[in-house]
Chain A
């Protein structure tokens, strides 16, 4: 459906005020793949995503979209190529689902070009993909947390961009909804050749769904690659400062991290 756009970071430094959070980071986001960024709290994964999405201006280096520094490109133009779902979007009071999802069409509308059948079709498609069609005319503030999250994803989908960046889209969701969201993102990648980057907390789901996993610690990439190649007990120890055992996920044959704490360790740990 779309030709693939290339997103990368070179020598990227990001920070707030005088605090540097991401330092000298290089990353090539593989096109047409699902990339998952993992790491402990405050390792800079959300900051990296904001930098890649030009929501944060780098202190040094840059993120590049198709070879151009993304924060210097016209922001409207970027918005037609790259969609972002930030961590805590705000739903205006009393707005309906369809209306909110329709806001995703903003970059495609000019001052004079307003609503077109194309916009309606994009909203319909986004609502269908997220299974929110039935709730289209309901106010967002009457929905459950899981439904609300899907509305936001639908808004990002309605933007119809080749690249989609999502910051912890599964937070506040039950396990079944988490799996649903990741299945949906996988559909986008597999069926439509989109490039998706997600920050995730759940390591096992990350390992199962990622084509490409990026493990971060203290603002640097520790390792990246296919989960089956790079997720080792040493990597988990370094990234999360925790011992673990890696077994094979019985469902997907991907690495599955079994954490080892101080209690409930019945079998001897080698």
Chain B
């Protein structure tokens, strides 16, 4: 036995904490820059001082109708929606990936997003719904799918492995349902459904962000309460139990929170691919084992969403892409990189 000075341990811990803080700060800075770009760029260029004036116009009373409409009714709602949905995707992704101990287990891979999509396509093609009704349908679809996966995976408790396998099966089945619905639909409806499926922020309205912000306000305290349980659950069910974690309750609570976040985000912007999938691994790589990387994953998600949306709007001259196309391209590159890196070092995350 050798005696170890507790101050060394405290020092190492402070170092890890300060690294995690530096990463957070860097991400917040990047977000501020990207947000500034999102407000300034566009067909109708608005100089920074005009943006600031417009943002504070409700307080100062100095208005300019045309500019205020562009900034407050178009760009700010779009920016907020990108930030909130990105953060929600990021959080939901890292919750699933940590809980199921598998980087592939994000909600856009294990069927939750497919459930939302299938429901949305059903609402558009069979019921002829549009707008908010489709979003609500997608939300219900995500919850229903998650519930079905959980029930099917249940056998004296739920194991991570079974959730992933059943989730992937559910994803395949729901994709088949979407294809079937397409074969029965008229071309117009298919076009409308496809636009929803790719995912886009084009339809951002001021009200969306408010609804979204309320959801986050409800889910975040729940998350803060449950997230400490992940410390144990990460080490395996037996170890978690041994450390005094209420395994089933904590896991169920986290799954419900993760599903709710993914469902709300998907209902708001469509199943924008890969944001949930990439945020966790990127956040973990940045923090390098210093902390769980959960707040960082939310920030990475928001950043990926915002930058992808900027690229989608402004990368090609005279042409706007759906946001989902950019995140899809980005996600594919990231997946390849992850495979190359993990092939080399023998680990996946």
Listed in ascending order, the chain A residues whose CB lies under 8 Å from chain B are 16-17, 50, 53-55, 75-80, 83-96, 98-100, 102-104, 106-107, 109, 111, 115, 117, 120-121, 123-125, 127-129, 131, 133, 136-137, 139, 141, 156, 159, 187
Contacts and interface: CB of A to CB of B under 8 A. Distances in A.
Given A92-B98, A127-B9, 15 more contacts: A75-B244, A76-B244, A79-B242, A88-B236, A93-B284, A93-B347, A95-B289, A98-B12, A103-B231, A109-B228, A111-B228, A121-B9, A136-B4, A137-B12, A141-B347
B9 A98 contact: yes
A53 B238 CA distance: 10
B270 to A, nearest CB: 31
Given A75-B245, A111-B228, A131-B1, A92 B234 contact: yes
A117 B12 contact: no
A38 B242 CA distance: 22
B239 A96 contact: no
B4 A106 contact: no
Contacts of A106: 228, 231-232, 243-245
B40 interface: no
Contact of A133 (B2, B13, B238, B349): B2
B243 A159 contact: yes
Contacts of A96: 12, 16, 289
Contact of B235 (A83, A92, A123, A128): A92
A137 B349 CA distance: 19
Nearest to A116: B10
Contacts of A133: 2, 4, 8
Contacts of B245: 75, 106
Contacts of B156: 16-17
26 contacts: A16-B156, A17-B156, A55-B238, A75-B244, A75-B245, A79-B243, A84-B239, A84-B242, A85-B239, A86-B242, A90-B239, A91-B235, A93-B347, A94-B288, A94-B349, A96-B16, A99-B16, A99-B290, A100-B235, A103-B232, A111-B228, A120-B13, A123-B6, A128-B1, A137-B15, A141-B347
A90 B236 contact: yes
Contacts of B101: 90
Contacts of A83: 242
A93 B244 contact: no
A89 B12 CA distance: 24
A187 B156 CA distance: 39
Interface string B273-298: 00000000000100011100000000
Nearest to A156: B242
B225 interface: yes
B210 interface: no
A55 B242 contact: yes
B22 interface: no
A179 B228 CA distance: 35
B23 to A, nearest CB: 13
B5 interface: yes
A255 to B, nearest CB: 29
A125 B4 contact: yes
A95 to B, nearest CB: 5
Contacts of A88: 236
Given A86-B238, A106-B245, A99 B289 contact: yes
Contacts of B228: 106, 109, 111
A136 B1 contact: no
B348 interface: yes
Contacts of B288: 94
A90 B241 contact: no
Contacts of B241: 54-55, 75, 84
A255 B334 CA distance: 60
Nearest to A105: B243
B1 A187 contact: yes
Contacts of A50: 238
B319 interface: no
A102 B349 CA distance: 21
Nearest to B239: A89
A124 B9 CA distance: 6
Nearest to B232: A106
Given A94-B289, A131-B1, A139-B289, A124 B13 contact: no
Interface string B5-38: 1111110110110000000000000000000000
B289 A129 contact: no
A124 B16 contact: no
A102 to B, nearest CB: 7
Nearest to A140: B289
A95 B287 CA distance: 11
A159 B240 CA distance: 13
B62 interface: no
9 A-B pairs with the lowest CB-CB distances in the bound complex, closest first: A79-B244, A94-B289, A86-B238, A84-B242, A76-B244, A107-B244, A133-B4, A93-B349, A124-B6
B3 interface: yes
B242 A93 contact: no
B312 to A, nearest CB: 32
Contacts of A136: 4, 8-9, 12
A209 B324 CA distance: 63
A84 B4 contact: no
Contacts of A156: 242
A128 B284 contact: no
A236 B226 CA distance: 49
A46 to B, nearest CB: 10
A78 B241 CA distance: 10
Residue among B3, B4, B7, B238 with the highest chain A CB neighbour number at 10 A: B4
A209 B156 CA distance: 37
Contacts of A123: 6, 9
